[in-house]
């Protein structure tokens, strides 16, 4: 270590680092600006019209007229109630199911591959899952078909409300089916940060069953790490638009859908109550988060007393087992939903109450091929552009982190979550107003930027942990062999991290493919992707057509994910082959 040569190399490397660090040092600020600026500006741009100010369409007088109009509109109370009830119910059920599932599944062998097992459900866009669920639960849907006519006696679809039911239960069901796997994945990630196996072992020696021990010993330790994801689920469930359009009540709809309707109205005077509705939704989300934090405190107090009582009764494990079974059932439901739509896309005719179509055909696909080309190409181009830009920014941020030895702290994590915590509708309208005033609305670049807002955090969150966990000795030994920091990045770090980088890109790609509202607003309705088309069609087009869109929508992200898994494996096999 006293080798003087080594010291000189070290000093030289340090100098290079300092020189090169200049550009990299801008990366975090630039990345944060990419998504915080449009959100901040968009929030202001939505808040001003909510108080009457939107000069572009003649609103110059500040006042509360938009709010009066909002609260005077028919069904507004119902809309607010439906929004709050469905959003909170979906969050509570998702959290309960995810926790119960993890408590029961912990330590079982197959859970080592839980990420891969959940990937298809996570990668499939919300809209595609919602379209599939609509078919499963509709009066003319798969469940009714499976039970008819032998059990129900129905020869025609019954006249009952399921999809669009005023209570919003299909919306809650679909949200739970989609958010529970997400939370499970977040919990699985958090588990790496506590000595779970040893703590569970000691709790078992003290007489606790695994499930009860998990809830009492592991959950309190990982909760701080899954708190932000839970709040993101809460915000998403309260403000979701595409799923609510497909499965939610229609008259009155949820608040977010109401705002979108007003923003899409031919009468531009409706922008004002629309902006007020968007702001009200923002307030509801903030209020719900505060209520959640209060609930956490109450839960902690109750939990401490529960733990101190020392009960080993296992009552909790019965509930957890029920949650486990329900989670499996919901995942199966999601899979069925996608399979159902896939079958529709190949159905020649599928009469009620047949459980399967009478004959299959490629006709739906060949008929739609011409009209599919543009949305498929647009979807791919948007997703690739957003993913590559986000990857560049994230790698620069992480590389800057490792060169300056300063890791982004807790506050940075909150900033990353801002796009996932702020309801989309609360800032997208304002952002659109800004885009229109600069003439950028409807351009490819504007839509890519809108996607970046959501792609960036997900890409960062999936790449940061593996990046930070990379053994620093690889870098040190490469540096001592004379590699410059850039060579180190390109020839050592990125190849070593190829697997995680590809997975993070697949996640980013899936996030982009699934975007509905950002595409709609930044594209001013002129940029059509698979998702925007599918949501529009879901309102009443032929199920065979919807099936084609839903299947394509689900297939693109799943292919990206498969590619991300297969490429490193193929490369490894190739390398082994060369050695022998």
Contact call for residue 209 and another protein (CB under 8 A): yes
Contact call for residue 297 and another protein (CB under 8 A): no
Candidate segments 18-26, 210-218, 501-509, 525-533, binder of another protein by CB under 8 A: 210-218
Candidate segments 275-283, 301-309, 394-402, 462-470, binder of another protein by CB under 8 A: 301-309
CB of 85 to another protein, least distance (A): 32
Distance CA 245, CA 18 (A): 52
CB of 296 to another protein, least distance (A): 13
CB of 91 to another protein, least distance (A): 23
What is the Cα Rg of the chain in Å? Answer: 26
Distance CA 247, CA 256 (A): 14
Residue that has been written with the tokens 């110059």 in this structure: 60
Site string (157-196) toward another protein, x via CB under 8 A = --------------------------------------x-
Candidate segments 71-79, 142-150, 311-319, 334-342, binder of another protein by CB under 8 A: 311-319
> For residues 298-315, b (16+ Cβ closer than 10 Å) or e, as one string?
eeeeebeeeeeeeeeeee
Contact call for residue 312 and another protein (CB under 8 A): yes
* 451 conformational bin, left if phi > 0, alpha if psi -120 to 50, beta if neither: alpha
Contact call for residue 8 and another protein (CB under 8 A): no
CB of 223 to another protein, least distance (A): 9
* Backbone phi and psi for residue 353, each to the nearest 5 degrees, phi listed first: -100, 35
Please, which of residues 447-476 interact with another protein by CB under 8 A? Answer: none
Cα angle at 559 between 554 and 561, to 5 degrees?
Answer: 100
CB of 212 to another protein, least distance (A): 9
Name beta bridge partners: 359: 349
Give the residue, chosen from 116, 310, 358, 472, that forms a contact with another protein under the rule CB under 8 A: 310
Please, which of residues 15-34 interact with another protein by CB under 8 A? Answer: none
CB of 217 to another protein, least distance (A): 6
Candidate segments 179-187, 203-211, 319-327, 551-559, binder of another protein by CB under 8 A: 203-211
Give the residue, chosen from 205, 298, 315, 370, that forms a contact with another protein under the rule CB under 8 A: 205
Binding-site size for another protein (CB under 8 A) equals 27
Contact call for residue 216 and another protein (CB under 8 A): yes
CB of 312 to another protein, least distance (A): 6
Distance CA 232, CA 225 (A): 13
CB of 222 to another protein, least distance (A): 10
Q: Which is nearer to another protein, 167 or 313 (CB)?
A: 313
Distance CA 505, CA 462 (A): 9
- Taking Cα atoms as reference points, which of 368, 346, 340 lies closest to residue 358? 346
Name beta bridge partners: 345: none
CB of 115 to another protein, least distance (A): 21
Count of C-beta atoms within a 10 Å radius of residue 417? 18
Give the residue, chosen from 250, 311, 349, 371, that forms a contact with another protein under the rule CB under 8 A: 311
DSSP H helix total and E strand total for the chain: 26, 2
Name beta bridge partners: 347: 360
Task: Check: CB of residue 334 under 8 Å from CB of residue 178.
Answer: yes
What token pair was written down for 325? 């079974």
SS3 content of the chain, % helix, strand, coil (to 5): 80, 0, 20
Instruction: For residue 140, give the DSSP letter.
Output: T
Please, which of residues 86-105 interact with another protein by CB under 8 A? Answer: none
Contact call for residue 199 and another protein (CB under 8 A): yes
Q: Which is nearer to another protein, 314 or 499 (CB)?
A: 314
Contact call for residue 301 and another protein (CB under 8 A): no
Give the residue, chosen from 217, 394, 464, 501, that forms a contact with another protein under the rule CB under 8 A: 217
Task: Check: CB of residue 94 under 8 Å from CB of residue 179.
Answer: yes
The answer to whether the peptide bond before residue 191 is cis (omega within 30 degrees of 0) is: no
Give the residue, chosen from 187, 203, 338, 507, that forms a contact with another protein under the rule CB under 8 A: 203
Q: How far is CA 356 from the centre of its chain?
A: 32
3-state secondary structure of 349: strand
Instruction: For residue 492, give the DSSP letter.
Output: I
CB of 201 to another protein, least distance (A): 5
Give the residue, chosen from 51, 135, 182, 208, that forms a contact with another protein under the rule CB under 8 A: 208
Contact call for residue 308 and another protein (CB under 8 A): yes
Residues that bind another protein (CB under 8 A): 109, 195, 198-199, 201-210, 213, 216-217, 220-221, 304, 307-313
């Amino acid at each position: 270590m006293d080798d003087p040569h080594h010291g000189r190399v070290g000093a030289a490397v340090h100098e290079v680092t300092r020189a090169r660090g200049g550009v990299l040092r801008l990366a975090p600020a630039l990345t944060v600006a990419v998504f915080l600026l449009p959100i901040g500006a968009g929030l202001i741009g939505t808040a001003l019209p909510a108080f009457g100010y939107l000069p572009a369409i003649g609103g110059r007088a500040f006042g509360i007229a938009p709010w009066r109009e909002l609260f005077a509109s028919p069904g507004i109370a119902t809309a607010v109630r439906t929004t709050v009830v469905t959003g909170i119910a979906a969050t509570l059920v998702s959290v309960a199911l995810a926790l119960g599932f993890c408590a029961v599944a912990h330590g079982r062998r197959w859970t080592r591959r839980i990420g891969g097992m959940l990937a298809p459900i996570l990668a499939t866009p919300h809209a595609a899952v919602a379209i599939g669920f609509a078919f499963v639960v509709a009066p003319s849907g798969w469940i009714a078909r499976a039970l008819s006519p032998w059990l129900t006696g129905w020869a025609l679809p019954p006249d009952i409300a399921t999809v669009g039911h005023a209570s919003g239960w299909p919306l809650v069901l679909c949200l739970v089916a989609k958010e529970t796997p997400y939370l499970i994945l977040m919990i699985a990630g958090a588990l790496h940060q506590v000595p779970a196996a040893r703590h569970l072992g000691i709790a078992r020696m003290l007489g606790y069953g695994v499930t009860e021990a998990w809830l009492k010993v592991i959950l309190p330790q990982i909760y701080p790490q899954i708190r932000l994801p839970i709040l993101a689920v809460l915000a998403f469930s309260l403000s979701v638009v595409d799923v609510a359009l497909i499965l939610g009540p229609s008259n009155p709809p949820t608040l977010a859908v109401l705002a979108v309707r007003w923003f899409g109205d031919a009468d531009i005077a409706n922008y004002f109550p629309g902006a007020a509705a968007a702001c009200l939704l923002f307030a509801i989300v903030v209020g719900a988060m505060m209520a959640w934090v209060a609930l956490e405190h109450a839960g902690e107090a109750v939990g401490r007393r529960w733990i101190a009582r020392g009960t080993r009764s296992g009552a909790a494990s019965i509930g957890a087992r029920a949650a486990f079974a329900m989670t499996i059932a919901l995942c199966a439901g999601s899979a069925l939903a996608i399979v159902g739509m896939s079958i529709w896309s190949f159905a020649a005719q599928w009469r009620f109450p047949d459980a399967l179509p009478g004959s299959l055909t490629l006709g739906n696909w060949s008929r739609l091929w011409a009209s599919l080309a543009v949305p498929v190409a647009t979807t791919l181009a948007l997703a690739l552009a957003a993913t590559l830009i986000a990857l560049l920014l994230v790698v620069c941020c992480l590389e800057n982190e490792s060169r300056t030895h300063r890791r982004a702290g807790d506050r940075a994590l909150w900033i990353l979550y801002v796009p996932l915590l702020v309801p989309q509708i609360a800032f997208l309208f304002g952002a659109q107003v800004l885009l229109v005033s600069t003439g950028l609305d409807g351009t490819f670049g504007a839509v890519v930027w809108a996607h970046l807002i959501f792609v960036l955090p997900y890409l960062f969150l999936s790449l940061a942990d593996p990046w930070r966990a990379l053994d620093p000795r690889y870098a040190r030994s490469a540096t001592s062999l004379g590699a410059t920091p850039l060579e180190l990045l390109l020839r050592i770090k990125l190849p070593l991290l190829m697997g995680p980088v590809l997975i993070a890109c697949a996640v980013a790609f899936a996030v982009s493919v699934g975007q509905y509202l950002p595409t709609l607003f930044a594209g001013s309705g002129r940029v059509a992707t698979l998702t925007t088309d599918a949501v529009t069609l879901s309102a009443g087009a032929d199920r065979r057509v919807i099936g084609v869109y839903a299947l394509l929508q689900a297939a693109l992200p799943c292919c990206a994910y498969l590619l991300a898994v297969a490429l490193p494996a193929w490369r490894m096999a190739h390398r082994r082959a060369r050695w022998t």
